[in-house]
Structure 1
Amino acid sequence: MLRSLSIKNFALIEQLQVSFDTGLITITGETGAGKSLLLGALGLLLGKRADLSSVKDNSVKCSIEGVFDIKKYDLESLFEEEDLDYEVETIIRREILPSGKSRAFINDTPVTLHSLNRLGLRLIDIHSQHQTLEVTTNDFQFDVLDALSESNREIQSYKRGLSLLKQKEKEEKVLLDSQQELTKEHDYNSFLLNELEEAKLKPGELSELEERYETLINIEEIQERLSGSVSLISSEEVGAGDLLNTIKTNISKVAPYSGTLKELSDRIQSVYIEIEDINDSLQNELERLEADPEQLEEVGQRLQMIHNLQTKHTVSSVEELIKIKEELQGKVSKTESLSGDIENVRREIETTKAQLDEVAIKIHKKRTKALPKLVSELEDILKSLGMVNASFKTSLTLQEKYLSNGKEVLEFLFSANKGGAFGELKKVASGGELSRIMIGIKAILSRYTQLPTIIFDEIDTGVSGEIAHKMADLMMAMSKNLQVFSITHLPQIAANGQSQYKVFKEDINNTTVTRLKLLNNEDRIREIAEMIGGKNISDSALTHAKSLLHYQK
């Protein structure tokens, strides 16, 4: 509920500080006195966009601050979502700077207009005649019905399930799109993969093949040069081995004569052993090598195949080809596994739908039970408000489509006259009728759910006499469960307020300002008498005013 309101430098309001209590609060005043300014200031406080033209003095900051008691509203989760400190007594402040820049604060924490609006919708509900069109919307009608049917737990469960269903359907679409895209490439990827798998590539293979190919293609020259080298080493006449052996023998004979000769003898011995070992290796390599045209052809073909694959895939090594093969394996495997993934998601979708259907049936049963009660209570209220022939024709029809709050279509038709044709509210109900329907619905809702503070802005226009008393009684009944403001021109409603405020204009130093005053008992008698009979207050008007206020002469 709204505990207090402070306004500075806004339109005709220079400075205003007012506190409010619980119950029904009535606000009266002449047309043009500035009642709409209060609503404008509250609108800014609740998140409407600011306009520098609404500032009284452009050189001074405009500020609007409201203190709210929010302990009954279960707003902890909203504060947590907005990363705000939750306080039972929450302060909202809006500022418009001389530069035109607007700032908003919740408990002294800067917030966006979106955050302010989210909270504002949960704190104050403003109703004027042009805003009663809300009652004609299907969403609002469902909200009212769900409050009476006490199906909030099922509705929340349904919404969680619907969110999951949409998530799974989105997953299915992504998988199907991927499958469609990958299927286009699947055959080609499979061909490329098969080609690489058949190649049986091995890391380091290319250099080995190239070396083998060079050996085979030059086998004759290699054999010739190996054979010549062996002859040069092992020839009995001038072979390098025999010559080195002779040198070794000569030096070994004189080696004992000095250390230098001994060292030279050892070195010659080492060289002789090495040349013999080289000769053996040359002999072995010569014996091993032989021309093999078939192997040459085979190695050449494999090299050509690898080079062709490198060209096709624009790489320069076998290792890169192996990496491409692994990537292709992943793509082909993913394409082939997508069918299984799609099937799994579709099973999850069907399970979610089955659970949603089960919850939707529970909601339907509760709504079906509550609908006649809503219609009956609303028709009774409207009869008391002078719409004696008002009646509703309603139906709830289950369908296959999943809607935001269930699987039903609600038909809420209205007729104001006996024997009249039923039609949609927005088409057949007048503005005055919509106002009474709205106040009737709010009165019903106030008994079943915790509503925010309600402000009725001249919603009683066109009402008089006994109907005005009935409307006042209705507002009084509502005010037992919530804070109700009524901006009114009707003395019957003004007199029923637990407290009454008057909006009026006053000229100070050649400047017109708007004031808001809490009326005492005597003030209320005169204000209501003036509402009854005009500026020239008669004794009968005073008597009537006192009777309305339950005073005795």
Structure 2
Amino acid sequence: MITSLSIKNYALIEKLSIDFSKGFSIITGETGAGKSIILGALGLVLGKRADLTSLKNKEEKCIIEAHFEISKYNLQPFFESNDLDYEADTIIRREILPSGKSRAFVNDSPVNLQELQELSLLLIDIHSQHQTQELSEEKVQFEIIDAIANNIDSILEYQSLLKSYKSDKSKLNLLLKKQAESYKEQEYNTFLLNELVESNLKSGEQEVLESDYEKLNNVEIIKESIDKSLAIANEEQIGVMPNLKEIKVSLQKIATYSTEYSSLLERITSLTIEFDDISDELNRCADKLFNDPEQLELISQKLQLIYNLQKKHQVSTVDELLEIQTKLENSVLELGNLEQEIASLTNSIQEKTATLDNLSKEIHDKRVKAVPVLSDQLVSILETLGMPNVRFKMDINPTMTYFENGKDELQFLFSANKGTDFGLLKKVASGGEMSRIMLAVKAILAQYSKLPTLIFDEIDSGVSGEIANGMGEIMKEMSQTMQIFAITHLPQIAAKGTAHFKVSKATVGEDTLSELRLLSNEERVVEIAQMLSGTVVSDSALNHAKALLN
């Protein structure tokens, strides 16, 4: 429960510090006095977004701090999972700097707004008139039924599985689309792959084939040139080789006379050996030369095949063709892997579908059992609030659709009077009836939740007299097990509180300030009397106020 709230430099509040007690606390004040400011400040502590308009003095920072006694509410797991220090007296502080930046702390550890909002859901429920209208929404109606049905854990498990199921479905759809596109390309890719495989290409063979082709295609010219070269080299009288040998013999005769001549002899000897080797190589080339039209044709066909493939695939080398062949082989393998992945995802989806169906059936069955419990309790409470003929009809119908909270659709029907047909709550219930129904719902839910604090912000809209008295009794009863605040304009409700706070607004010089203070017993009598009769308090109003308080 909240034990204290301090506010500095927020809206019309310059500085405020107030302590709260357990039980049933009342907050009253004239319209515009600042009750919404108090709730706004508390909202900032609980994680709502802020801006510079929140600052009273734009040159100073705004600080809002709230203390919560949480020892009885088993919140240690939340603090551990968010790496926060757990304290029985937990302090939440929110700061808004003049720059517009905002900071939040839990027990002096910085937290982000999402963490703060998650913690606030475990601490306080602020119920406003706007939330009363939400009662007509199917989502909220399901939340009420599920709280009574003890479905929360099952729904969390269902939602986690549903998220995984939707992820699998999304992946499967992408894979199926990819598979369909792959099938369209597969036939052509297979044709291209077979064409390359059958070509039996080898790295570097194009250069060899082109060389062999040139040799075979020009065999006569090559043979003529080699034969001529051999003739010049080896002609007995005028050939290069005989002349080199004669030069060598001549130099041998004078080599001993000078290093210069011996060097020349070495060089001519080396040249003779090299030329002799060239001559031998020419002979070998001549021996290998033969006219083979069939081989020439085979080489020509293979080269033409390579050229055609290069043109088709827009490349210039055999190595690039081999890379394309590898890619085509991989694409065929990928299609096989794709089919395996699709099969695996399909099996996963089938398993999750079965589990989701079982969970949704379990959720449905528990809802069906909870409906008469909720209906009976609502009727019982509302009979005390001036609705003796109220009836509810809640039809829970299973569907084939996976919703966020199961597979059910809900019709929450309502009839306030005898002889009137059931109708949708949002269409047939008046504002006053909705306020009473919402209070009844909160009273019932209080039995099933361990929420420390509940704040009713003018839930008494549209009611008065004995109905208001009954609503006050219900809130008072709820305060036996939780901390209750009621912001109200009705004296019948205000008189039920164990503590009474008043919000007021005053002009100080050129400034307007709001304050919140705890009323004494005497001040409380006057406040309730003013709520009964207006600004001028009569003796009868004072006596009536005392009677209400007693």
Superposed CA deviations along residues 476-534 of structure 1, whole A, max 9, x for unmatched, are 22223332110123333223222111122334336543221111233223333443455
Deviations 1:295-331, CA, capped at 9 Å, x for gaps: 2222222222222322332322211121122122222
Query: Aligned pair in 2 of structure 1 residues 87, 134: CA closer, same or farther (>3 Å)?
Result: farther
Match of 1:291 in 2: 291
Partner of residue 158, structure 1:
158
Aligned residue in 2 for 1:191: 191
Q: Which is further off, 516-525 or 503-512?
A: 503-512
Distance 2:460 2:22 in 1: 21
Counterpart code for 2:527: E
Q: Secondary structure at the match of 2:489?
A: coil
Q: Residue 504 of structure 1 contacts residue 515 of structure 1 at CA under 8 Å; is this kept in 2? A: yes
What is the 5 A alignment of 1:376-415?
376-415=376-415
Whether the aligned pair in 1 keeps the contact of 2:2 and 2:69 (CA below 8 Å) is yes
SS of equivalent residue, structure 2 residue 417:
coil
Q: Which residue is 1:92 aligned to?
A: 93
Q: Render the CA deviation track for 1:378-412: whole Å, top value 9, x for unaligned.
A: 11111111111111011222111111111111221
Partner secondary structure for residue 279 of structure 2: helix
For residue 283 of structure 2, what is the amino acid of its counterpart?
Answer: Q
Look up the equivalent residue of 2:361 and give its one-letter code: I
Change (3 A) 1:105 1:54: closer
Task: Specify whether residues 103 and 259 from structure 1 end up closer, same or farther in structure 2 by C-alpha distance, changes over 3 A only.
Answer: closer
Change (3 A) 1:244 1:503: closer
Amino acid at match of 2:520: N
Q: Which residue matches 1:106?
A: 105
Q: Give 1:145's aligned residue.
A: 145
Q: How far apart, CA to CA, are the structure 1 residues paired with 2:537 and 2:256?
A: 155
TM-score w.r.t. length of structure 1: 0.88
Residue type matched to 1:106 in 2?
F
Does the 8 Å CA contact 1:129/1:432 hold for their aligned counterparts?
A: no
CA contact (8 A) 2:45 2:92 kept: no
Matched, 1:300 2:300: yes
Amino acid at match of 1:24: F
Is contact 2:431-2:461 (8 Å) kept?
Answer: no
C-alpha distance 282-510 of structure 1, shift in aligned 2 (>3 A): closer
Residue correspondence of structure 1 range 99-498 to structure 2 within 5 A: 101=100, 103-107=102-106, 117=117, 119-246=119-246, 271-451=271-451, 453-498=453-498
Cα deviation per residue 1:327-380 (whole Å; 9 max; x = unaligned)? Answer: 222223323543343233222211110111111111122222222111111111
What's the % identity of the aligned pairs? 48
DSSP-derived class of the 2:522 partner:
helix
CA distance in 2, matches of 1:85, 1:436: 40
Does the 8 Å contact 2:233/2:241 carry over to 1?
yes
Paired amino acid for 1:154: S
| Range with greater deviation from structure 2 (349-358 or 281-290) | 281-290
Q: Pick which of 539-548 and 285-294 moved more.
A: 539-548
Q: Which is further off, 268-277 or 447-456?
A: 268-277
CA contact (8 A) 2:431 2:462 kept: no
For 1:337 and 1:55, the matched residues in 2 are separated by: 61
CA distance in 2, matches of 1:102, 1:248: 101
More displaced, 348-357 or 315-324?
A: 315-324
CA offset at residue 536 of structure 1? 5.2
Q: How has the CA–CA distance of structure 1 residues 243 and 94 changed in structure 2, closer, same or farther, with 3 Å as cutoff? A: closer
1:94-114 CA-to-partner distances (Å, cap 9, x unmatched) read 4263x7x35342346777766
Aligned length: 547
Amino acid at match of 2:92: I
Instruction: Please report the RMSD computed on the Cα atoms of aligned residues, expressed in angstroms.
Output: 3.2
Write the distance in 2 (CA, Å) between the matches of 1:338 and 1:170.
15
